[in-house]
């Protein structure tokens, strides 16, 4: 039975011995021969505060400057929310009062992590930077490397343990948009 809580860390190793079976891949297992199979599911919640800001690249383009916001303008978010995972897809922008086809996403989060090796997987469109404990670990700030509305995916390995902070900076320039960050336990 599942232990109550937000974190999920399930690993089942099973063996079947019995009548002849055909696996989901079409492999026949003769009656009486052992067939090994497994199930794994991992979810590490991160306490995210996500802010969205309207962007007008005719006025200021963070891709060209490398700076998220213009140094002489103070911006207020058009939308915010608290979530335990980043997993977004937008068509035609975000709705916050009005439709914002171009926008900036800033997500900051914290999590208590069991010591071990992890894989951080990130899918985005158009540009993104990821920081773990203040250190830049993914820098994909050049959307011209990808085709229009292509959603690149990148994986990196991290050694984590204890309390960690995460920051994601994301730019959407119009069209389809996505931002998805997942952690996978490797050991």
The Cα 99–Cα 47 span in angstroms is 27
Note the pLDDT tens digit of each residue in 50-70. 999 999 888 899 999 999 998
Note the pLDDT tens digit of each residue in 11-36. 778 889 999 999 888 999 999 999 98
> In the beta sheet, which residues pair with residue 41?
10
Find the radius of gyration of the CA atoms of the chain. 21
Name every residue whose Cβ is closer than 8 Å to that of residue 5 and which is 6 or more positions away in sequence: none
Note the pLDDT tens digit of each residue in 94-132. 999 899 999 999 999 999 999 999 999 999 999 999 999
Q: Confirm whether pTM is higher than 0.85.
A: no
Q: Could you give the residue ranges of the DSSP H alpha helices within 42-182?
A: 62-65
3-state DSSP: the chain helix, strand, coil percent, rounded to 5?
A: 5, 60, 35
184 exposed, middle or buried (CB, 10 Å; 0-12, 13-18, 19+)? middle
């Amino acid at each position: 039975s599942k232990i109550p809580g937000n974190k999920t860390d399930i690993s089942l190793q099973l063996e079947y011995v019995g009548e002849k079976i055909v696996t989901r891949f079409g492999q026949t297992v003769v009656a009486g021969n052992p067939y090994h199979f497994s199930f794994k599911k991992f979810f590490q919640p991160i306490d995210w505060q996500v802010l969205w800001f309207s962007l007008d690249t005719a006025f200021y383009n963070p891709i060209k400057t490398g700076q998220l916001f213009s140094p002489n303008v103070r911006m207020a978010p058009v939308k915010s929310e608290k979530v335990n995972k980043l997993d977004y897809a937008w068509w035609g922008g975000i709705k916050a009062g009005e439709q914002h086809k171009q926008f900036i996403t800033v997500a900051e989060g914290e999590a208590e992590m069991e010591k071990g090796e992890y894989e951080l997987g990130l899918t985005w469109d158009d540009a993104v930077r990821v920081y773990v404990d203040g250190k830049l670990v993914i820098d994909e700030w050049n959307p011209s490397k990808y085709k229009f509305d292509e959603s690149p995916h990148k994986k990196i390995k991290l050694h984590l343990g204890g309390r960690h902070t995460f920051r994601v900076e994301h730019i959407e320039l119009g069209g389809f948009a996505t931002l998805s960050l997942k952690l996978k336990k490797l050991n």
